[in-house]
């Protein structure tokens, strides 16, 4: 269920970024965030991290009508509902960082969604 939820959310998200990169470049991997190994859906994007952060935040504001906060380089949206996917509440976490002059875009897949 978590993987399906993540893939669907990623497809909804990357629809707005499709011109930059193919959706076929999505892959699930593990990365270290603040010293903790986490599973993420990952893709590489061309562009400035600030612009990608702005685009992602704008996408969330438009489609979920909520604002993301940044904490230690991780964009967070606490206790949100993605109605297109589930009626459960959960945390949406995104980690974007530079690698080889490209932006690594990561959506955490081990996010727990729970009933109200």
Confidence (pLDDT) at 41: 86
CATH topology of domain 2-114: Alpha-D-Glucose-1,6-Bisphosphate; Chain A, domain 4 (3.30.530)
What value does the mean pLDDT take over residues 96-108? 87
Residues 6+ apart with CB under 8 A from 88: 81, 113, 114, 115, 116
List the chain domain ranges.
Answer: 2-114
* The pLDDT of residue 17 is above 60: no
Confidence (pLDDT) at 50: 87
């Amino acid at each position: 269920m978590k993987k399906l939820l993540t893939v669907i959310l990623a497809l909804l998200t990357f629809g707005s970024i499709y011109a930059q990169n193919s959706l076929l470049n999505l892959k699930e991997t593990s990365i270290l965030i603040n010293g903790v190994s986490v599973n993420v859906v990952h893709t590489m994007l061309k562009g400035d991290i600030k612009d990608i952060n702005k685009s992602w935040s704008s996408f969330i504001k438009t489609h979920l009508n909520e604002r993301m906060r940044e904490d230690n380089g991780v964009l967070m949206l606490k206790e949100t509902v993605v109605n297109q996917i589930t009626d459960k509440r959960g945390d949406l976490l995104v980690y974007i960082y530079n690698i080889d002059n490209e932006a690594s875009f990561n959506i955490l897949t081990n996010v727990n969604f729970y009933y109200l």
